[in-house]
Amino acid sequence: MAKGASLSGFPEWLPEERVVEQQAIDTLRRIFELNGFLGIETRAVEQGSSLLKKGETSKEIYLLSRLQEVGQENDTPVEDRLGLHFDLTVPLSRYVVENSGALTFPFKRWQIQKVWRGERPQEGRFREFIQADIDVVGNGDLPEHYEVELPLVMVNAMESLRAFGLPKATVHANNRKLSEGFYRGIGLTDIEGVLREIDKLDKIGAGEVGRLLVETCGASAEQANACLRLAELSAFTGEELTHRFDDLCNECSVDANSDAYRLAHEGLSTLAMIVDESAKIRPGSVIADLKIARGLDYYTGSVYETFLDGAESLGSICSGGRYDNLASQGSRKYPGVGLSIGLSRLVSYMLHGAHAQASRISPASVLIAVWNEEDRGDSNRIARELRARGISTDVSPKAVKLGKQIRYADHLGIPYVWFPATADAEESVKNIVTGEQLPARTVSWSPDSVYAQQTVQCGGDNH
Amino acid sequence: MAKGASLSGFPEWLPEERVVEQQAIDTLRRIFELNGFLGIETRAVEQGSSLLKKGETSKEIYLLSRLQEVGQENDTPVEDRLGLHFDLTVPLSRYVVENSGALTFPFKRWQIQKVWRGERPQEGRFREFIQADIDVVGNGDLPEHYEVELPLVMVNAMESLRAFGLPKATVHANNRKLSEGFYRGIGLTDIEGVLREIDKLDKIGAGEVGRLLVETCGASAEQANACLRLAELSAFTGEELTHRFDDLCNECSVDANSDAYRLAHEGLSTLAMIVDESAKIRPGSVIADLKIARGLDYYTGSVYETFLDGAESLGSICSGGRYDNLASQGSRKYPGVGLSIGLSRLVSYMLHGAHAQASRISPASVLIAVWNEEDRGDSNRIARELRARGISTDVSPKAVKLGKQIRYADHLGIPYVWFPATADAEESVKNIVTGEQLPARTVSWSPDSVYAQQTVQCGGDNH
């Protein structure tokens, strides 16, 4: 983070760090567009009523008030005030409903934008950060195959970020129907409550979760134990998953003819398809992991979380799931499935965990020297001619001693310095990295390809 | 604007409209980087104390409050609260001061971000919009040549936006020193007051401004008249400008040996340089126009506004100037010069004035048909192989009748539909625009170059 980032939770990067973030954004956008997603941008604000409707994060909202209205804010109920969005899913569902007549469904969209969480300042928690989302939203219905394909697009996206120092990512998938079916099958009814407690497993451990299941969800010790055993199940193939699940159902006396068991198997079959299809394409990229619960209450089918090998302490860096009831218009429903990357946290890891860095600070490949201020026009002309050929070019700020001009290029990582012709010498260009100096003409010179573009290099062990 | 844009002043675009905005942003970024500017992104929020410090827009702030603190907002003075930034100049000056030890000066930066104005909703006024800024900030001093070069980078940027339907742009430049020197030379002292009234010329006309100069700035009728005559001066060359200005000084009895006259000539010489240098490079792109005043009080030298030929009603679409006192740290000053494009207003003009439109809605060049759901894996494999070659590809959402799949492609503007091999037919691809259908293989097929990328086309007369 830029040293001076003076406001806790609001990350700001130095220019050379921003290059890493910008190129990560460019990379994600490229992957999303390769996969046929349409880019949109929604406004940063939503009505309080939309923000308060859904999700665990709805408590962490920044509300807005116009300076002119200070002192009268509370005349307006929170529902009617404007607030900053805390994710890109709530805005998407509003956008889809508002524009349903103009969109082609299923609507596949990508969106990379800042979101805000109005939390108390806290070490390591961002209050402003960038999310990178993909979602597919159907009109009325949405084919199940998107629940397989979307996590794979994200696997692809995260693979492409390994060039920035990210370790291998593994998507952990579960299915709400599977969980609900099982819980009902063993006689529990407070499904949301059980999911909420199971979601705490990584934080507080099985013993404590078991206690909470008994205390707050009306579970017997045996039922609580069954929930914890379900959460322990994981599998890399559909067959393994089905076997283990049915064994557990057997042991817990779940009636294989019950509606609950049928619901569980509906979820199971989607989940099995996800791990089997992903194994064909990228073995090991997606695992069925039945402890994944996701705090947000709007998920209705598949749920996903993603962890980085060796950087599990970062928590899930890409999460999402299927939501059938988030957006509706009268009786018309817009079911969706989507995943969201918490990009700012990843960039922070790239910079400080993986030591990713820009190959240079300036986008310019070459600095044009200025012999004296009267001749600045010559240097500007050379710059214009190179820029017209697509070569990013800077011109020396001052006609000071040549050593000082070269130092300016060096500070910015600009690899070449161009010397305009003088009475004594023809035009030439010097590579200040290698020291090589050669005659050059603006109509034909190009930087060596390794110096043509700003790139991101990775100094970490994970590369 | 997307039909459903439900919140006045918060523009939102349909996906095909967003393509225009996104490509305009990409174009500006490319021009800024070609010219050696470094990209940064600052947080969306600033301390109230920074926001209140400078500029006319400081009255139009959105303040934030955490939902948890509703009802207690007013326990905190406005200066200590957080607010959304209303421009990118105030954040830049804070960023430069905070990171001065880590930056190379002069610091040339570009920044394209949303800003917010906490205004009352009003027809045609955006409360959230994108600005595209370039600035150069010096440490201690800043060479004058940047006052010539920066408007020319923006001229270059606006030329590149003509592909999106923008008419020719003309930068109107003035200089605060010139104005102040003249006003003092004719005996006026309330310089800020005079500038504030002159800034209203286009809105309320010369008669009314003359009256206000007398009423609020202590001017005699003769002095007011001199101010109005200065505001009428414009010139395309430095020579013409100097002649006209000196003639006016003569007529108004400004003492050519006074400090005031010397100050005016300091500004005049910079301004003359700006129009002469720009005429060499792009004749007619920059005009000296002495009525340009700029409302913001932090400008200390050159000021710029930019108008589009035939779309003057849009107002200035790119404004800025030199500011010597915006950022400081102890006795150390960071003088800067910069210009800012109001991009959302331009995009609105591109879409609705110039009828710019995306060549297609989807980034995908080709849709892979699906014969039946069991064979979806085949279609996905074809898509993967094409994507690996950089060809943006979508896969049919459902294995419905072929006509319906083609209609889906057609709705999204996807020009090709790929037919996987069947028992009866080899793999082929159909251009649904021309109707041509040919055998194809994933290792070698590419879309015709005209269909390779989403582009922006312009249906207006201005192209």
- Would you say A324 is a known binding-site residue? no
Residue B307: Cβ-neighbour burial (10 angstroms; 0-12, 13-18, 19+): buried
Quick check: B108 and A394 CB within 8 A? yes
Preceding omega of B283 cis (within 30 degrees of 0) = no
Contact (Cβ atoms closer than 8 angstroms) between residue A290 and residue A234: yes
Asked if residue A51 belongs to a domain, the reply is: no
Structure tokens at B104: 């190379």
Quick check: A18 and B39 CB within 8 A? yes
- Would you say B299 is a known binding-site residue? yes
Closest-CA residue of A relative to B2 is A99
Asked if residue B233 belongs to a domain, the reply is: yes
Q: What is the DSSP letter of A243?
A: H
Cα distance from B302 to chain A (closest Cα, Å)?
A: 18
Q: Quick one: pLDDT at residue A463?
A: 38
Q: What is the mean pLDDT of residues B261-277?
A: 95
Closest-CA residue of A relative to B14 is A40
pLDDT band at B69 (very low <50, low <70, confident <90, very high): confident
Q: Using CB atoms, which residue from B363, B387, B408 is nearest to A38?
A: B363
Instruction: Assess whether B183 and B292 both reside in one domain.
Output: yes
Nearest to A126 by CA among A210, A73, A29, A60: A60
Q: Which residues touch A246 (CB under 8 Å, ≥6 apart)? A: none
Residue A449: Cβ-neighbour burial (10 angstroms; 0-12, 13-18, 19+): exposed
Which residues in chain A are contacts of B42 at CB distance < 8 A? 12
Q: Quick one: pLDDT at residue B461?
A: 45
Instruction: Assess whether B173 and B262 both reside in one domain.
Output: yes
Asked if residue A247 belongs to a domain, the reply is: yes
- Would you say A89 is a known binding-site residue? yes
Select from A330, A357, A384 the last residue of a domain: A357
**Beta-strand pair B393-395/B366-368:** parallel
**Residue B18 near chain A (CB below 8 Å):** yes
Structure tokens at B186: 């004719």
Q: Quick one: pLDDT at residue B86?
A: 94
**Residue A282 near chain B (CB below 8 Å):** no
pLDDT band at B296 (very low <50, low <70, confident <90, very high): low
pLDDT band at B54 (very low <50, low <70, confident <90, very high): low
Quick check: A392 and B35 CB within 8 A? yes
Instruction: Assess whether A345 and A426 both reside in one domain.
Output: no
Q: Which residues touch A317 (CB under 8 Å, ≥6 apart)? A: A158, A169, A306, A307, A308, A341, A342, A345, A346
Nearest to B157 by CA among B320, B35, B292: B35
- Distance (Å, rounded) from C-alpha A212 to C-alpha A388? 67
Nearest to B37 by CA among A392, A413, A370: A392
Instruction: Assess whether A272 and A170 both reside in one domain.
Output: yes
Asked if residue A69 belongs to a domain, the reply is: no
Beta bridge partners of B134: B110, B339
List pLDDT tens digits, range B425-435.
999 999 999 99
Select from A328, A357, A386 the last residue of a domain: A357
Select from A302, A324, A357 the last residue of a domain: A357
The residue type found at A270 is T
Which residues in chain B are contacts of A7 at CB distance < 8 A? 43, 45, 47, 82
Instruction: Assess whether B180 and B252 both reside in one domain.
Output: yes
**Residue B11 near chain A (CB below 8 Å):** yes
Q: Quick one: pLDDT at residue B41?
A: 98
Q: Using CB atoms, which residue from A10, A39, A395 is nearest to B43?
A: A10
Q: How many helical (H) and strand (E) elements, i.e. helices and strands, does chain A have?
A: 13, 21
Q: Tell whether the model's pLDDT for residue B57 goes beyond 60.
A: no
Instruction: Assess whether A329 and A441 both reside in one domain.
Output: no
Asked if residue B248 belongs to a domain, the reply is: yes
CATH of the domain at B293: 3.30.930.10
Cα distance from A300 to chain B (closest Cα, Å)?
A: 21
Asked if residue B8 belongs to a domain, the reply is: no
**Residue A403 near chain B (CB below 8 Å):** no
Instruction: Assess whether A348 and A370 both reside in one domain.
Output: no
**Residue B443 near chain A (CB below 8 Å):** no
Quick check: B4 and A43 CB within 8 A? no
Cα distance from A365 to chain B (closest Cα, Å)?
A: 9
Asked if residue B342 belongs to a domain, the reply is: no
Count how many residues are written for chain B.
463
The residue type found at B371 is W
Which residue pairs from B307-316 have beta carbons closer than 8 angstroms and sit at least 24 positions apart in sequence? B307/B169, B307/B170, B307/B172, B308/B166, B308/B167, B308/B168, B308/B169, B308/B349, B309/B167, B309/B168, B309/B169, B309/B170, B310/B167, B310/B462, B311/B167, B311/B349, B311/B353, B314/B345, B314/B349
Instruction: Assess whether B304 and B372 both reside in one domain.
Output: no
- Distance (Å, rounded) from C-alpha B30 to C-alpha A134? 26
**Residue B3 near chain A (CB below 8 Å):** yes
The residue type found at A282 is R
Phi first, then psi, for residue A269 (nearest 5°) are -70, -35
pLDDT, chain B, mean: 93
Contact (Cβ atoms closer than 8 angstroms) between residue B19 and residue B456: yes
Contact (Cβ atoms closer than 8 angstroms) between residue A185 and residue A249: yes
Q: Quick one: pLDDT at residue A393?
A: 98
Instruction: Assess whether A293 and A237 both reside in one domain.
Output: yes
Q: Quick one: pLDDT at residue B233?
A: 97
Output Rg (C-alpha) for chain A, integer angstroms.
28
Instruction: Assess whether A235 and A276 both reside in one domain.
Output: yes
Q: How many CB atoms lie within 10 A of CB B278?
A: 22
**pLDDT by position in tens, chain A (length 463):** 444 457 889 999 999 999 999 999 999 999 999 999 999 999 999 999 889 876 555 678 999 999 888 888 778 888 899 999 999 999 999 999 999 999 999 999 999 999 999 887 776 789 999 999 999 999 999 999 999 999 999 999 999 999 999 999 999 999 999 999 999 999 999 999 999 999 999 889 999 999 999 999 999 999 999 999 999 999 999 999 999 999 999 999 999 999 999 999 999 999 999 999 889 888 999 999 999 988 667 899 999 999 999 988 889 999 999 999 888 888 999 999 999 999 999 999 999 999 999 999 999 999 999 999 999 999 999 999 999 999 999 999 999 999 999 999 999 999 999 999 999 999 999 999 999 999 999 999 999 999 999 999 986 544 3
Residue found by looking up tokens 């609105």 in the block: B348
Q: Quick one: pLDDT at residue A389?
A: 98
CATH of the domain at B383: 3.40.50.800
Q: Quick one: pLDDT at residue B298?
A: 83
- The vertex-B199 CA angle with B194 and B200, nearest 5°, equals 105
Q: Tell whether the model's pLDDT for residue B119 goes beyond 90.
A: no
- Would you say A42 is a known binding-site residue? no
Instruction: Assess whether A281 and A318 both reside in one domain.
Output: yes
Residue found by looking up tokens 């702030």 in the block: B61
Asked if residue B145 belongs to a domain, the reply is: no
**Residue A159 near chain B (CB below 8 Å):** no
Handedness of CA B49, B55, B56, B57 (dihedral sign): negative
- Would you say B294 is a known binding-site residue? yes
List pLDDT tens digits, range B342-382.
999 999 999 999 999 999 999 999 999 999 999 999 999 99
Task: List b or e across B354-382, with b for residues whose CB sees 16 or more CB atoms inside 10 angstroms.
Answer: bebbbebbbbbbbbbbbbeeeebeebbeb
Instruction: Assess whether A371 and A331 both reside in one domain.
Output: no
Q: Quick one: pLDDT at residue B351?
A: 95
Quick check: A128 and B45 CB within 8 A? yes
The residue among B26, B28, B31, B41 with the most chain A CBs within 10 A of its CB, best to mutate, is B41
- Distance (Å, rounded) from C-alpha A130 to C-alpha A124? 15
**Residue B407 near chain A (CB below 8 Å):** no
**Residue B322 near chain A (CB below 8 Å):** no
Nearest to A175 by CA among A320, A53, A49: A320
Range of the domain at B190: 169-308
pLDDT band at B328 (very low <50, low <70, confident <90, very high): confident
State how many domains chain A has. 2
Q: How many helical (H) and strand (E) elements, i.e. helices and strands, does chain B have?
A: 13, 21
Q: Quick one: pLDDT at residue A296?
A: 63
Q: Tell whether the model's pLDDT for residue B127 goes beyond 50.
A: yes
